Each structure stands twice: as structure tokens, then as C-alpha cells.
Structure 1
């Protein structure tokens, strides 16, 4: 059979995904709180907001619009219909514009601007509401006087269990705070308390329990998702008029989200040992968050920046003063640079800030502890759905979750080839990269860095863009070079990037691939002088056929210069038609077939003093003889210091015979062989066989 089938069926074979919903909380209420109410609420149902948290969803709330996801029960379908009014956790009421069933879940879209998932997402509430002509009841005996002045504040304890939600009593209006002297003196029976959502209530009872104290209020139960930790509680007093401001509010120059690092050094993007935080190293942030600028934190305090330090695609910003509280100012909250006229509210610096060890520069692209990574995997997902481009993330394609990076790092294979599509990262030639897709790509790199995984970025396009050949009038080679320059500019400082895979399996290129590869490689070198550039071969990158189809790749001396850090990438499958489809389930394989099929490529590398890499190889779980052949292949590659990445791993493979990750979770016989060679010591100091 023609090897033009090399990857079509194999890579299009993606099992449909069942979107299992993790449940958060949504409630459809029957009546407002107040006992004195005369209003009658319409009949209602109770449900939960799904707990989806990914690039599209934040706690079950759609990030880019006014919508949320709930289980598609019959009751929910009947209640959450177009035209119904929905009351969100922060009290606002909106009308439903449409609903959409997605498997066992339903997406509900509302009128108006996008929602804040930190307020209305899981496990918080959303309610359908409807009333008679009577005036609606108030939600609690609250004060709304604008003249409220906070005189004392404290953090609420972070108890979360069956009795407490974020330090707020679930069954009655009460909360728990530290029982320090200041709190005992301030939170007394009869005092007025201002909650985080602005309502004011009176204290009815105080009870000290060890190092903490429980404070009970009048009115109905309060919402722990709104007023609980890490939010603040304030003692309030009232005057006849609101006090005049003592200084004009600082104007905001720039605002950025904090990164979500949470580990021994970082808590929600805030450095634990010093007054510092981490944000994206965008050009806007680099320009705004400079030494001497004033930064306003989420809790309102203003401090000056001592220094800023770029680390990959992120930047660390260090402030004067003592360590800051990540629970208050950390992710997903924001920090802002404010005008220099803002009066700093941080305490005066009495001691120098804690010493911070500078982050290491990005490591050399080819080695870990002086040795190259020889065994890795392809993590699928972002290259799926090539017939539907750009397509919809989560429906036609996905990016691998952090768990996959952790899994293969833990298995001793911290090298990942990450396929993605040109049409998604740049939907129109000659335009800036799509920021949403770029964000997904960078998030994958962040996942990899967290688990010390190195990533080869693989443009998985078979030498085509929207079906048109590179080098055609529609897709000039200059556009191919330009998109790689843009990608490199975005990730050049990210420490997880091992290198750039110019193109997956070029084929039927009209002889133009060598020219296109040279242009793209040289464009990358104007941005990144160090990391590996992986140059695939024509004719589907077949290792066995390599010498007959790819001599023209190195006619230009630049492509043979070892200083340019080029690695030539071949693919190899052992079935009779070289395709990787393994149609014949009875086929028996010679133990050395894998070695014999890569030898033409390896000998070509040796002859020309070049470096090589096997970007794809894979065998089916139903063939013991193919797995033996893989064992011998891996030994041969190690002897020649040639890395390889197995096809395939990652999400959405269903029960695909070659995959290391299948829905059933059954034993994968390929995995022990890969682990064996990943853990076998070698004497390679760089990628070979050069």
C-alpha cells in the first residue's frame, strides 16, 4: 500500500470524549430570606454549577461571555429556559438568552457582559427567580448607608467543612475569627459588622472557642463564598455623612493577572519569602512594572517596585516592605501599576527585604544535567481535528492537561513533542498570532516547566495551511518563515522549550521543502540563537526512505553547519506499508525490523556528520513481536545517542492500540519497554550521532 497513507487514518483516529462534569454548586431558590416578606417567589429547582476549570471555563462559568454550565437534568432543562430570570451569587439578576445541551450537561447563556467566575462559579450559587406583582422582599435586615466607615478589620478563619464554608457558619448568620484582644474588644454584642459584599448587620452573640471566636449576627444565613476567607470582615460605625476622601484615588496605569504558581516558593503567584509576585512578561508588563513604579495590590495597599526580573515568559516583581499575603493578593486576583502621585499605604521599611535567589537562566536546549533526554512521548490533543480548522477548543481539539506532563515526568520520560496547528495559532496569514491559542500553548509550557519537562514544539501541518501547499501563491514560503519567527519571539525565554519542530511529515512538496526549511530555520535564528531546530524530511519523514528523498535538504551549507544546532527528524513505523495504521492484526514482525528501518536514516546522519531524532515511532498493544522490535530499536538509538518520542500519549485517544493513555486504563505493554530505556544509563553528552 502507498505510504501516502502514512498518517491520515492513524492521526485522525480520535475517540469521542465524554465530558464528565465535576460538580460545584448552583441553587434555584424558592423565596427570599426575610420573614416579613410579602412577595411570593415562583416555583423553582435546585442544582449545581459544574466545576469545569480550564482555558474556556472558570469554575463552570464561561470565561469569554455571560454563561455557565449545569447538569442537563430534566428539572434544569425545564427551569433554565430562554426568557427566564437568573439570580447570580453576587445578587445580580439577568435573563437567559439561550440554553444548549452538551452531553450530560447544559450551557446556559445570559444577556449582558461576561461574568466573574470567582463570584458566581462553583461551588457558589445561581438561581432562577420569578415573583408575583408584590414587591420583592429584601434579602436580609441590612443597612445600605453610604456613610459606613470601617474602624477595625480582621481576616475570617478559613474553616471549610460540614459546619463551616470559608469560616462562615453554613446554617446561621455567623463566622469565625481569631480571638485576639483587638477582635474581642471590637466584635461585641450590639456592634455593627460590615461584610465583604457591603451589607451591614448587628452582632447578636459572641463565643470564644480556644484561639478563635464565633460571632453571630441578626438576619438570615450569609454566603460563605462571598464573605469567607480570604475576604475581610470589618467593624463598622456610621456618621451622618460620608467622610471626605483624604487623598485622590490613584489612577491605574496598567493591570496584570498574577501567575498561579503554588509550590514551596510561591503561594498563588506571590513569593513566600519576600515581597514579590510573578506576572506574564508581556511587553506591556515589562514597560509598566519597572523599578520605582508604585503597585497597588488587591487588598488596596500601595508599594514601590525595587526590581523586576524576567524569567522565561514570566517576570518576577519585587517590592519594598515585608512579605505579602498570597491569600489576599494572589491568583486569580490582579496587581496594578498606579500613578506616581499615589500615597504608599504599606508600612515603612525597617529591614531590608528577604534575600531572593535569582531564577536560573534557561537551561541548555539539549541536555539535562549534562546529558540529552533520549526517551519521550508525543502528547496529543492540540493537533486533532485538522479537517475542522480553526475549530472549537474542547470540541475539535484540546491541549493536554497538567496531569499528563506530571505522569511522564514521574515515569522518567520528561521529553514531550507537542503537536499544534498553524491555522489555530495564526488563523490568517501575515497577522499577529491568536492570543487565546498562544495562551493555551504557553500554559502547556508552564505545565511542562512545573514538572521539569522539555518540549519540542511541533507544527503538525504536513506542509500545508488550510489545505494549500507552502510555496504556492496562496501560502508563500515567506509566510511560513514569518510565523515561526513570531512563535519563537513569544517563547524564546521559556525554559521548557527544547526546540522548534518546523513541520510534521512534509509530503508532495513539489521539491520546495528544502527552501522552506532553510527560510524558517534562519528566521528562528534571528530570534533564538541556541535552541534546537528540528528539520523533518520529505515523504512523510520516513526514516527508511530518507536518503532517497532528502539529499536536497543539506545542499545549502548553512543546513550542515553544526553551529546552527539543527537536528534532522525522521519517523518510523514497522507495519508492512510503513503507515503506522497496523491494519493486519496477524502480522508478525522480525525482532530487528525497527533497527533495519531506521538504519538508512542513521547512516545518512553519520555520513554527513549531522544530528538526528526519531519524532514518531509506535507499535500496537496487540502485537508482542512489535514490542520486541521496539526494545531492539530503543537500544540501537541509545547506542547512537539519538532521542525519540513515542507515538502517542495524551488525551482523547479512546482505545487506540498505539496509545499509552486509553479510556479504559488497561495495561499498556509498550510502556515498560519505554521506561526501561528511559532509565538505562548512557554516555551521550549531546544529540547524536554527530
Structure 2
């Protein structure tokens, strides 16, 4: 959970492979932020604050791929996509701007996550719980899914960081989105299922998210490529607003969740995590956390850390490279942990 106002679809392993060692995580990458700027945790999105990553985002994606990463999450506000017309069609001009970033990702990466960055809300009201109806939410996803149905490298991030919802009712809203995506022709792509409490990996089981979202299915009754979406920061309050890190989250979050996933034959994707880009406590703890995911890649598909894109390099959790154009240099945290773990260059807590 960060509270700033800047704010190839593959089947999951067969049951027999859960608990067995896998070669490596399938996906590692970063968030390319900017189309979500101006969106806060109440689901308000101020369109004038949006900062499209543009050519800088394209150069960053190309740079990160050259470093060995292959996955990118592309946050966008619901209001931007429909130009503040709740229940309406996608705005052609705004969608074209966002799609430019998506196409940049598709041209070089292996996974491009379309992420609606609204905290289960629209202008302060919860989806399916007094706010937008499930039908309006499903319409949004149906339109997006139709656009990207032929792209196997697209993943659909149903919603960024729901919080303070009735989890049983929220699962119904998620089901509406999943059904809409599949019925729109996106029959096999990954769909990420977000839980309550800012979809925290540390409370995904205890707050009932895992149990409620386990009931969400594809139209044929299967759960193939329905992946639990989790976030976890490493600062003192899991807010992602502090530059120092106090935990690697293994014993408190990712180990218990891994046990649950194996027992229930499910998988998870860590779509937000991060720390201060040069703080030694984060260089240690984030590397250890991501290495744990690597060692448990039978149940963890991958990660996208927070965040590059339109963030200034001075932002608390900046992963925006230094430089301009194609002459880019990574933040230290990216080199050591985000890239280092995924590419195998991080070894025994030392980094390379």
C-alpha cells in the first residue's frame, strides 16, 4: 500500500507440480506509473494530474528488458479511460494514449499488466457496495478485454489495492469482472485477483481474501490463470511511504502464504513491493524477500516492483533510472534486487 497521489497467458502448473522445485520465477519487472497520477485511496482521480510516461516510459521499458526483466505493470485510472463518464465507453483519445504504453510493453516484454488503479472505488464510493454497479465495472473490463483479447502477453489486473470492503461482496464484483473478461474473448490470459486490506500478502489469508476469492471462477468453472494478486512493502507500517525497511516479510507474509497456496493448489503474483532505492536496510531486505519468491516459484509467478515511469528519481521508492533518452542507469535497489534476483546475479545477500 502506497498512499501517494502521484499516484503470455500460461496455465498454472498441474497439481502434481505444486511443492516441487521450479527453475525460476517466470516474471520479474517494475511498475511504469504515470497514468494513475492524481488517483488516491478514495478512488478519486484528478485527470489534470495524470503524467503519461510517453517516450520516457518506452525507453525505460526497453532499458529494463535489456537488463533482463520481462514484466511490467501499467497503472491507469478508471476515470481517465472513460474521461469521467462512469458507465460510458472508453474514451478514444485517452485510450490511445494509454495503449501507446501498452504497445511499447508488448513489443519487447513477456507480460504487460493492465491495472485499474482505483482502490475498489470510483469518486469515493465502493464498487458493488453503494458505488459503481458490478455491471458498470464489468462493462469497463469487457471493453478492455475486447481490445486486448488477441494478446497472450496481456494480464488483467482487476483492481489496485481494494480496502475496507465487505470481502464477500467484493468477491462478487471480482467475479463480474472475470466473467466479463472471459466472455469478451480473452479466454486464457492471466487475471490477477486482488484482496482486501490493500491486497496485503500479510493478511490475504487472515482477512478472508483468499477464501472469498477462491470461489471466483472462469465461466467453465475452472480457476486456470486466475492468480492471487498481492502487495507487500517493507517499511514499518506497510505503507510504502518510508525510505527504510524493517522486514523481509518472509516469516510474516510470504512463507505462510506459500503454504496456503500449495495446500490449495493456487498461485500468487507480487505486483507491488519496494523500498528506498539506496537505503542499506532495503538493499538487504528486498533482495531477501525476492530471493524467497525465487526459491518458491512453484507458487509465486513473479513480481513487479514499485515504481518507475513518471516518478522523479528523488521519489521515496523511485525505481526511475537516472539519465534521459536511451542513456539510462539503474537505481541501486533495481540493480541489486529487482534485476539481480530475477537474473540470478544476486547471491547470498551480497549482490553483484
Secondary structure of the equivalent of 1:567? strand
Alpha-carbon distance in 2 for matches of 1:557, 1:390: 32
* Post-superposition offset of 1:663: 6.0
Q: Please, what TM-score do these two structures have when normalized by structure 1?
A: 0.43
Alignment check: 8 A CA contact 1:379 1:400 kept = no
Alignment check: 8 A CA contact 1:545 1:600 kept = no
The residue that corresponds to 1:669 in the other structure is 332
Matched, 1:655 2:314: yes
- Unpaired runs of 5+ residues, structure 2, are 13-22, 346-352
The residue that corresponds to 1:571 in the other structure is 231
Alpha-carbon distance in 1 for matches of 2:231, 2:313: 23
Alignment check: 8 A CA contact 1:445 1:496 kept = no
Alpha-carbon distance in 2 for matches of 1:551, 1:494: 28
Secondary structure of the equivalent of 2:179? helix
Q: Which has the higher strand share?
A: 1
Q: 2:240 aligns with which of 569, 576, 580?
A: 580
Q: After the TM superposition, which residues 519-538 of structure 1 pair with which residues of structure 2 at under 5 Å, given as runs?
A: 519-527=176-184, 528-538=186-196
The residue that corresponds to 1:462 in the other structure is 119
* Post-superposition offset of 1:389: 3.7
Q: 1:562 to 1:537 in 2, by over 3 A?
A: same
The residue that corresponds to 2:342 in the other structure is 678
- Unpaired runs of 5+ residues, structure 1, are 1-5, 15-362, 682-690
* Post-superposition offset of 1:648: 1.0
* Post-superposition offset of 1:653: 2.6
Secondary structure of the equivalent of 1:535? strand
- Flag the structure with more relative contact order, 1 or 2, with Cα contacts below 8 A and sequence separation at least 6: 2
Q: Please, what TM-score do these two structures have when normalized by structure 2?
A: 0.81
Secondary structure of the equivalent of 2:206? helix
Deviation string for 1:33-91 (max 9, x for gaps)?
xxxxxxxxxxxxxxxxxxxxxxxxxxxxxxxxxxxxxxxxxxxxxxxxxxxxxxxxxxx
Q: 2:71 aligns with which of 415, 418, 440?
A: 415
The residue that corresponds to 2:206 in the other structure is 548
Deviation string for 1:470-509 (max 9, x for gaps)?
1144411111111101110111123542x10000010011
Matched, 1:484 2:157: no
Q: 1:501 to 1:471 in 2, by over 3 A?
A: same
Alignment check: 8 A CA contact 1:656 1:662 kept = no
Q: 1:399 aligns with which of 46, 49, 53?
A: 53
Q: Which has the higher helix share?
A: 2
Q: After the TM superposition, which residues 76-87 of structure 1 pair with which residues of structure 2 at under 5 Å, given as runs?
A: none
Q: 1:566 to 1:677 in 2, by over 3 A?
A: same
Alpha-carbon distance in 2 for matches of 1:564, 1:598: 22
Q: After the TM superposition, which residues 133-282 of structure 1 pair with which residues of structure 2 at under 5 Å, given as runs?
A: none
Alignment check: 8 A CA contact 2:322 2:330 kept = no
Q: 1:431 to 1:495 in 2, by over 3 A?
A: same
Q: 1:523 to 1:593 in 2, by over 3 A?
A: closer
Alpha-carbon distance in 1 for matches of 2:305, 2:330: 17
Matched, 1:494 2:157: no
Q: 1:655 to 1:544 in 2, by over 3 A?
A: same
Secondary structure of the equivalent of 1:546? coil
Q: 2:37 aligns with which of 384, 390, 395?
A: 384
* Post-superposition offset of 1:667: 6.1
Corresponding residue pairs, total: 317
The residue that corresponds to 2:28 in the other structure is 375
Alignment check: 8 A CA contact 2:65 2:109 kept = yes
Secondary structure of the equivalent of 2:307? strand
The residue that corresponds to 2:348 in the other structure is none
The residue that corresponds to 2:2 in the other structure is 7
Q: CA RMSD in A?
A: 2.7
* Post-superposition offset of 1:406: 0.5
Q: 1:454 to 1:408 in 2, by over 3 A?
A: same
* Post-superposition offset of 1:567: 0.4
Alignment check: 8 A CA contact 2:241 2:316 kept = no
The residue that corresponds to 2:15 in the other structure is none
Deviation string for 1:377-409 (max 9, x for gaps)?
1111111112674523xx532134311111111
The residue that corresponds to 2:19 in the other structure is none
* Post-superposition offset of 1:649: 1.3
* Post-superposition offset of 1:563: 4.7
Deviation string for 1:259-278 (max 9, x for gaps)?
xxxxxxxxxxxxxxxxxxxx
